[in-house]
Structure 1
Amino acid sequence: MKYKLLTLSLSAALLTPIAPALANTDNAENMQLDQVLLLSRHNLRTPIDNTGILTEVTDKKWPAWDAKSGYLTTKGGALEVYMGHYFREWIDQNKLVSDELCPTGNEDLFVYTDSMQRTIATAQFFTAGAFPGCTIKIHHQPEIGTKDPVFNPIITNDSAEFKEKALLAMEDHLKGLDLKPGYDELDAILNIKDSQKCQTDKLCNLSTQKNSFIIEANKKPGVAGALKIGNSAVDAFDLQYYEGFPLDQVAWGMVNSADKWKKLNTLKNGYLETLFTPKIIAKNVAHPLLNYINKGFTSADKGETAKFIMLVGHDSNIASLMSAMDFNPYKLPEQYEHTPIGGTLVFQRWHNKSDKKDYVKVEYVYQTADQLRDNSYLSLETPPKHVTLEMKNCPIDKNGYCAWEDFQKVMKSALEE
């Protein structure tokens, strides 16, 4: 297997010309799927912070979970089996790998994950759904629970200038968000005015609290204040809904409309995007992952690496990578999260047999909020949702394809710091 961990350097980016019109991609018979790379977020886990500050901002009791904090749940495993089953049907339909039940060799499949329980388990369940009965190697760091440098979105620039610009970028991003409706909704749900934090620290209204951003070398971008509290609380509510808790236990029965879910998730989306998508931060923290993908997918010649590559990481990996690569804004119908649980970026390399050129298509494939809650079976007949994405400097045609050469230049530009 030639796909392996990679160095983190790359030559300077080339300027991106305007792409020519794409030829004959509307004829499906012309298009042959040559390679696929999935960048997935782990599936359904338990809340990471269901104690500590969350117990101080409400006088209500948080529901108990039957797994350790941050672990993939049993239902998360079932959901990922279904996602694996769907993708196996899809790659069979497109004749990407051999028709055998199990991959015939390393040229077909390569799976690599962060070394957390939830990411490793996600890959295990996915491959069980896609290749039932097969022995599939999941590549990860030897010690479970240690962060893999490829997936660890930490700051690597320790200069004072970088820190100043990064902090300013986070402040500027936050100023552009209208989070007050979400904070007001959360205040009411938590009954924060009667909480311990209100009594001891006068934290009685989240929208009036100051946020303090943190940029330190070898650590993730961070924040202290209302934004962090809002993210943790809404994350817990989302997970309760997905897990199938009775509705009177999901946010204590106080989130009963799509409008309320949308308001609340502005806090969660705002947290992720403020910390990880300002360009100066995104290009820094996503660099190891971008470099890995570039060497193993973008720059690799056909046959050098596996036809089907699966990477499993976190929402911060997806958000920072998409920012670094200049993806255009997108919406995910029937989801409130911008980087939902179990969702995956699907990078597809297609060959046009008519003009003998390669093209790339990128889709966000994800389960809707209700598919997650209902544990919906996935197949070609009952698929997850698909949203075609576009990068600023890789224009797509009506079928979602952009020129492979332009995609390569996008990746090089993303890697230039």
Structure 2
Amino acid sequence: MKKIRLKGVLALTCILSFSTQALETLNHYTLEQVVVFSRHGLRAPLASPNSTLGKVTPNQWPQWDTPASYLTTRGGVLESYFGHYFSQWLADNKLLDQKDCPNQNDVYIYTNSLQRTIATGQYFAVGAFPGCTVPVVHKETLGTMDPLFFPVISDDSAEFKQSAINAINNIADSDGVKGLNNKLAHAYQDMSNILNYSQSQNCLTDKQCDFSTLPTKLIIEKGKEPGITGPLRTGTSIADAFILQYYEGAPLQDVAWGKIKSNQQFEQLVAIKENYNTVLFGSPVVAKQVATKLVNYINQSFSENENKPKFTLLVGHDSNVASLFSTIKIKPYQLADQFETTPIGGKVVFQKWRNNQTGEAMMKIEYFYQSTDQIRHLTELNRQNPPHKVTLEMENCPINTLGFCAFSTFKQAMSKATQ
């Protein structure tokens, strides 16, 4: 099998190289504050004989040396590389001094209270500030979701439930989730073939032998994440397991038991997962409810008057990124050389800059992420080999040619986003 190589298309106006960005911004702007929202790093999948994944195939899932859902050792190394790059980027933009350890007024790292998010913050800190004591804050008992990062429904009214279901169906397809499942039928069939689903426990024991017709139901309940049953949910878990194998560097003949033969096939399978995230967490009605705490936190982290840390790192999940982007109305974007639209370890970087000539405060939002090849090949990140970057734009905060929008406009847009 040939090595899978990924291709992406990206408008040149949406991405700035490290050298170009450094020259343009350092000459005319001063970086004053950065808030980063990061998806956790590479973790082990949820696959065991008694799990949902164990029941959809007679094949043996690979055994990982890391407990299910925990950050892997490789994931830790990748995060330390990301941290190292950020230390150089922050030093080059004169926000932090790379020679000195930061204090609590310089850096604040706050993560969800799960192992994979806490460990992501810890490995990032080691890479960014080696030899320094930088606390990684989590506020709940280990294994408990922090309300800031927990995308749960808070409204138990019948009106909201129906509104949320309508919104999810609207974003899924003109014919709702049913229509989306029909569009994904080819991907489901390919996944079924890869799994040898006809010989699975689901089929042989439970007599459910058509993967694409697994019972589908939308779940909108107070105190729970929005959920869905059926092929979209199960297919997401399976696609997630496949891509994590690939990221972890498994030989290609071992990824999906060697049955993924092309980049196009892999992207088609991952599209199941992408649609799941968009449908459940990207619909405006649901996104606003589950992301309000996070949007307000990021907005309040930027202030003209209060003394805030120069660099804040928040570590959560792809569901947080999807709902955040929907709520603050990030325009459509593309990530070159990546399977995912919210990549593992990807970092949404909110940057407050000051125009040296006019004194005006400006906001710039970029997505820093490792390409699929950088993850798979455990590529070190530094000035000479940076992560990929894409400039993001909010609908209500238009950007100039350098990717800046007025800070005052950004604040207004963030405040209105949750009203």
Shared fold by TM > 0.5? yes
Closer/same/farther in 2, CA of residues 349 and 27 from structure 1, 3 Å limit: closer
Instruction: Note if 1:213 corresponds to 2:212.
Output: no
Aligned amino acid, residue 348 of structure 1: Q
Q: How does 1:157-236 map to 2 (within 5 A)?
A: 157-175=155-173, 177=180, 178-236=183-241
Instruction: Note if 1:148 corresponds to 2:146.
Output: yes
Q: How does 1:18-417 map to 2 (within 5 A)?
A: 28-51=26-49, 52-103=51-102, 105-175=103-173, 177=180, 178-297=183-302, 300-301=303-304, 304-416=307-419
Structure 2 gap ranges (5+): 1-22, 175-179
- For residues 133-158 of structure 1, give each alpha carbon's deviation from its aligned partner in whole angstroms, at most 9, with x where no partner exists: 00011111252111111111110111
Distance 1:167 1:45 in 2: 31
- For residues 88-122 of structure 1, give each alpha carbon's deviation from its aligned partner in whole angstroms, at most 9, with x where no partner exists: 0000000002343311x222111100011111110
Shift of 1:245: 1.3
Aligned amino acid, residue 227 of structure 1: L
- For residues 19-75 of structure 1, give each alpha carbon's deviation from its aligned partner in whole angstroms, at most 9, with x where no partner exists: xxxxxx967411111111110011000113444221111111111011111100000
Tell whether the 8 Å contact from 2:47 to 2:54 is kept in structure 1 after alignment: no
Structure 2 residue aligned with 1:4: none
- RMSD (Å) for aligned C-alpha atoms: 1.6
Shift of 1:203: 3.1
Aligned amino acid, residue 47 of structure 1: P
Aligned amino acid, residue 300 of structure 2: K
SS of aligned partner of 1:322: helix
Q: Give the length in aligned residue pairs.
A: 389
Aligned amino acid, residue 271 of structure 2: T
SS of aligned partner of 1:335: coil
Structure 1 gap ranges (5+): 1-24
Shift of 1:171: 2.1
Distance 1:35 1:322 in 2: 20
Shift of 1:289: 1.0
Shift of 1:288: 1.1
Closer/same/farther in 2, CA of residues 267 and 204 from structure 1, 3 Å limit: same
Closer/same/farther in 2, CA of residues 55 and 388 from structure 1, 3 Å limit: same
Distance 1:26 1:122 in 2: 31
SS of aligned partner of 2:354: strand
SS of aligned partner of 1:286: helix
Distance 1:175 1:59 in 2: 33
Closer/same/farther in 2, CA of residues 282 and 49 from structure 1, 3 Å limit: farther
Structure 1 residue aligned with 2:9: none
Shift of 1:167: 1.2
SS of aligned partner of 1:111: strand
Q: TM-score, normalised by structure 2?
A: 0.90
Distance 1:172 1:197 in 2: 30
Aligned amino acid, residue 38 of structure 1: V
Shift of 1:199: 3.0
Q: TM-score, normalised by structure 1?
A: 0.90
- For residues 256-298 of structure 1, give each alpha carbon's deviation from its aligned partner in whole angstroms, at most 9, with x where no partner exists: 311011100110111111111100000000011111112122x
Distance 1:301 1:399 in 2: 22
Shift of 1:210: 4.2
Distance 1:159 1:152 in 2: 20
- For residues 170-212 of structure 1, give each alpha carbon's deviation from its aligned partner in whole angstroms, at most 9, with x where no partner exists: 2222225432232122111111122221234443333344421
Distance 2:153 2:306 in 1: 34
SS of aligned partner of 1:386: strand
Closer/same/farther in 2, CA of residues 193 and 400 from structure 1, 3 Å limit: same
Tell whether the 8 Å contact from 1:182 to 1:265 is kept in structure 2 after alignment: no
SS of aligned partner of 1:378: coil
